[in-house]
Amino acid sequence: MEFVKIHDYLWEIPRHGAMLVPGRVYASARMMDELRDDPALTQVANVACLPGIVGYSLAMPDIHWGYGFPIGGVAAMDAHSGVISPGGVGYDINCGVRLIGTNLQYGEIAGKVDRLADALFHAIPAGVGSHGAIPGLSVDELRHLVVEGAGWALRNGYATAEDLEHTEESGCLAGAQPDRVSEFAFNRGRKQIGTLGSGNHFLEVSRVDQVYDTKAAGSLGLEPGQVTVLIHSGSRGLGHQTCDDYLRLIGQVMAKYEIRLPDRQLAAVPIASPEGQAYLGAMAAAANFAWCNRQVMMHLTRQAFMETLGVSQRELGFSLVYDVCHNIAKFEEHVIDGEKRLVCVHRKGATRAFGPGHPALPPALRPIGQPVLIPGDMGRYSFVLIGREAAMRETFGSSCHGAGRVMSRAQAKREARGRDLYSELAALGVTVRAQSRAGVAEEMPQAYKDVADVVDVMEAAGVTQRVAKLRPFAVIKG
């Protein structure tokens, strides 16, 4: 595939074949050398063939192969003439990350990490099909929950008003239509609110290892040595089933709209079509489920901290820094070719990264820009970034979402044979609690890029700015 170097951290795939816009890849020269034969780059070009796409088909430096869209892919469709593609959102609708700050310093709890890890593993249901955090939730109640999102958690005592203020979209995406979610999807999610799930989902207790921007860190309530918590999860079985349902439906009706694409996994329909509107209503419902899910897990985590450490809520100071989603499609206004346009931005393994002053941000954070939370692997570090103004001009206000895999899960398990991964992680200062060794093997540090390299690209390109580095010391896995 031909590439044109725009600058040291941005490469362009010129329009060719059925592409309607160029593709653009954020990467260092070394990353591009490693990517040249990667099928994910073909996916970037394929996305550029979607009707109504504007600007560019974008890929972040954590790019790897996904369903239809690459993971790390961003594409904006004209809100009136464009299409919606479930593959551009992904199976785990509104998979996302929330960062929680505490009043604790690592030195205060260093001798209690094992007990804390045990308590969190007991409190937060994890693993495939895990359930039990809120037993007995009826489908009727779930229909209310997917409309209210994190507001349901507030109404039921699992959240504060400040939590919602520091959640993207205040934890509720407008337009949710529970009638567009199948009964099967509701039943899959009925017992899964407040559960972590499996795969790359995790709960990570970290300490602030380094601060790069003292002013921004202060605005976020972060300081060196502080204990923090990252929760990474999504919409569980409800979101997965919703994606599956609509991929099937949209694949069946594409011909009706005379849409032909180079990859059937890109299945798409016009945004304005009945099927497009139905998917958007169901997707919003699944997104709201995910926000509520992470909020309830935050509540359960707070309880486990207080009980294990014997501290009051005031002493603990468990406060939400921010919650971001990275598998979603949202209607936003962006300036394209000098004109402000309403577009539907698909972010698949990519994080919103609005710059300073954006009205969508809570007043306390508006002066510095949106927090962008970038988990690494469980053996190294994660980063807190903020969006910069260039993101609004160049990436539809988007950034990377994590480290990005370099091994498939099957390959990682092969590489892990005969190794004591728990001891290896303990040697790095990380206590792990997991449902299975296989789950740890799939997610071992070597299965991922070094997230520092990914973050460096985004910062050098002017899209985001580093605020702090977090070092994990306890990890809960499915």
Residues with active-site annotation = 401
Tokens standing for residue 359:
């009205």
Supply the DSSP symbol for 249: H
Find tokens 């249901």 and name the residue. Answer: 125
What is the crossing angle of helices 236-253 and 274-309, to 10°? 170
Tokens standing for residue 218:
């202060």
Closest CA to 323 of 285, 296, 304: 296
Q: How far apart are CA 399 and CA 351, in angstroms?
A: 5
Residue 241, CB half-sphere, CA atoms under 13 Å: how many? 17
Tokens standing for residue 304:
């486990």
In contact, 378 and 443? CB cutoff 8 Å: yes
Q: How far apart are CA 18 and CA 75, in angstroms?
A: 16
Q: How far apart are CA 125 and CA 435, in angstroms?
A: 10
Please state, in angstroms and as integers, the Cα–Cα distance from residue 387 to each residue in 209, 394, 395, 473, following that order: 21, 12, 11, 27
Q: Name residue 456's beta-bridge partners.
A: none
E strand map for 128-190:
none
Q: Radius of gyration (Cα) for the chain, nearest Å?
A: 21
Find tokens 């976020």 and name the residue. Answer: 220
Tokens standing for residue 251:
């694949």
Angle at 211 between CA 214 and CA 402, to 5 degrees: 125
- The residue type found at 317 is G
Plot region of 89 (φ>0 → left; ψ -120 to 50 → alpha; else → beta): alpha
Q: How far apart are CA 253 and CA 250, in angstroms?
A: 5
Q: How far apart are CA 176 and CA 283, in angstroms?
A: 7
Coil, strand or helix at 306: helix
The per-residue DSSP string of 352-365 comes to: E---TT-TTS-TTT
In contact, 388 and 465? CB cutoff 8 Å: yes
